Structure 1
């Protein structure tokens, strides 16, 4: 978090993977001891690679990922919002019988031109020319190529997408970056190209499984080619590496590209992976390589 981030509930950065994912109160300057389970009434829409373009809650994260700004100038009308009511006992919080006290209206995170920034993770994703980027408190994403989904034309799919999120939000094995990426790839493929939108995945081929240096951190990536029943086949990649902000936090970056003449070339996935860097103001090692 930064000094410019207003108070609010956000995914707990100290989540250990044991028990349900909780939200922790950020008071505008630091994380407090106030925790809660995400309210059942607040439902975040998922975004699958190739599904529901522009929706800002990322796949498989029950608490949602708050993507707030669009460096590429894309629409923000779909942006998810976090509850801004302060917890009882927290600074500015309302007690029993009192009126609700709300935090100031949420400000957009400060980001660099040409990048979508994940503030909690301390990383920035490059936004290729013609793509849309969204920055957020606990996640970031870039997408391109909207079209009607093959299994449900009432929904919009995208030809390519790359999204970051904390590994703990996905309840993955976070013992090593390799274990995290290896575990996540199957879920990534299912979220990206499974279910009724693509009719499920009939087969997959592993294209890569290797260590990689990202944002100065030693990570690991796994890449599959998947074959679907309906619509385009696709490439999916799960990348895991320690956050430049905290070695204790593993970041997962999920990528998914359609295999289609109108979709981005697979080399763009490599370019984005290589271009991930520590966010401005975050200390990191030397430049990235892949």
Structure 2
């Protein structure tokens, strides 16, 4: 008597041959073994009665035990079909794996850390990756020169270039601009818009040009005359320098004296600095000869004003 086996999943006879009866199951279509296999239900954690798989089509069926009709489709095509199915499954699995891994990374990076006290912690920079680059140190050229405070003079507020300033006397309305305040004696350090190695102008030309601006700002340009009373090259703090002095007068009297000295920065950074000095001709004003003391006592000092280049003139 022959027992008829209904279609279903049964222990794979090939595995039984190799002594591993529980590892894999093969589909029996009611007449013959097919090429469709799966992990045994006990291995995959699935109860055999949870679902009934669709029986393979006759074209996919193929006898393994040697009994029953063999499919007319060549075996190579069946194997290719299986390879395509397996390839698609592996691709889908890999895509899900990497997508999930990428999502986990994003979730980890966006999820704030919580300290022991229960407060959220902001992730700090990663050394070598997120660490901010150190800013380039900028030194103000004018801050490296210090003017001496002479007897009767006072330290003034640094000018718009950040340069040192000394003053003599009380502030009073300026001659040309009554809204502005002037003093009877003044000395200050400025930075020229010209730099050594980048300009064709000489120190003499720079000093003369600046003196014109200095005179215009101090006494105005209308109704006054300018007379050159001193021009010379000199050494200032070990650097080349050139000085020009003017006597400023109106039609009736001398108003004062102004002087500009152009010199290379003692810090040898390529910048050209300008020393402006001036005094009124009034009897209570200091003699213009104070400039000689300034030139003798002016000093190079460490530049401490960082992050500011200074306004040029």
TM-score by length of 2: 0.46
Structure of greater Rg: 2
TM-score by length of 1: 0.50
**Larger strand proportion, structure 1 or 2?**
1
**Larger helix proportion, structure 1 or 2?**
2
